[in-house]
């Protein structure tokens, strides 16, 4: 079964473990997902089965929007509610302070990913090293905050919505906000609203063709040559430069790779119409 859809991941289950439920539900063995959500996070998670699992890198998945709540006065090793180490009463802030701090985060930011993250360090996941209390040498990353807005502030909880580039860590954004406010704080909730064009709609099947984000190339030969996956070179295409491209026939599409004038099929003969 080939299927692309969005699930609403529940709280306190890892994205990987949730796939076991999906396998049982849809009676399939080959299942994959894109854009890991932390166990304490909920919301939009793109899932595919069958050969559609090869499409993730070609889908329109940015920007991403999240709704998050920052718990003022709480401290956590993982910057979320799973590893709370201290809770303090702090003085209530003014709405102006909160709004000003949020606005100051818009644009390009540089920061360290959370120690409890899936980032790999010398082949090991950062969260595995963190749990063993081993030294973690994380490198600074760059993300873009396209928009961030206050939804409500009921002390000690600040709830905001943020739209970010792919690969951004909202837990770290929460940490940056806490530093701007000069308080200790951690995220108490995180919900992903959407990933690019993907929203949760009761797991309805989606047509991958409508969600692709990849340069297009024009095939100059007979449709049958492409659809049968015959050996071809870059002379069959309008664009001959190295790269990955979407190419179409009347009823089908393929994703090809041109490298040193040679053409390989990454995915071939996928139907444009999908039900």
| Residue numbers annotated as active site | 38
Phi, psi of 40 (to 5 degrees): -80, -10
C-beta separation of 65 from 163 below 8 A: yes
The tokens for 184 are: 């200790």
Runs of H (alpha helix) within the chain: 15-26, 95-103, 126-131, 170-181, 223-227
| E strand residue ranges, the chain | 3-9, 31-34, 42-49, 64-72, 74-76, 84-87, 107-111, 120-121, 124-125, 141-154, 157-164, 185-195, 198-199, 243-248, 252-259, 262-271
Q: Can you tell me the distance from the alpha carbon of 98 to that of 8, in angstroms, rounded to the nearest whole number?
A: 30
């Amino acid at each position: 079964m080939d299927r692309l859809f969005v699930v609403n991941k529940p709280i306190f289950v890892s994205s990987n473990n949730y796939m076991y439920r999906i396998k049982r539900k849809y009676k399939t063995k080959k299942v994959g997902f894109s854009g890991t959500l932390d166990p304490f996070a909920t919301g939009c998670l793109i899932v595919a089965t069958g050969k559609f699992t090869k499409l993730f890198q070609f889908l329109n998945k940015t920007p991403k929007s999240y709704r998050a709540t920052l718990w003022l006065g709480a401290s956590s090793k993982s910057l979320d509610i799973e590893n709370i180490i201290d809770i303090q009463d702090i003085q209530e802030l003014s709405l102006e302070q909160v709004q000003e701090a949020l606005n100051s985060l818009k644009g390009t930011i540089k920061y360290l990913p959370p120690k409890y993250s899936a980032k790999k360090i010398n082949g090991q996941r950062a969260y595995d090293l963190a749990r063993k209390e081993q030294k973690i040498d994380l490198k600074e990353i760059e993300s873009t905050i396209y928009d961030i807005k206050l939804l409500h502030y009921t002390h000690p909880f600040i709830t905001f919505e943020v739209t970010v580039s792919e690969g951004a860590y909202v837990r770290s954004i929460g940490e940056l906000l806490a530093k701007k406010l000069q308080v200790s704080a951690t995220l108490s909730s995180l919900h992903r609203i959407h990933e690019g064009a993907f929203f949760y709609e009761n797991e309805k099947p989606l047509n991958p063709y409508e969600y692709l984000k990849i340069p297009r190339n024009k095939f100059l030969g007979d449709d049958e040559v492409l659809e049968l996956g015959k050996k071809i070179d870059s002379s069959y295409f309008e664009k001959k430069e190295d790269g990955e491209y979407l190419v179409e026939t009347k009823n089908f599409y393929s994703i090809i790779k041109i490298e040193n004038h040679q053409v390989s099929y990454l995915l071939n003969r996928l139907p444009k119409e999908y039900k």
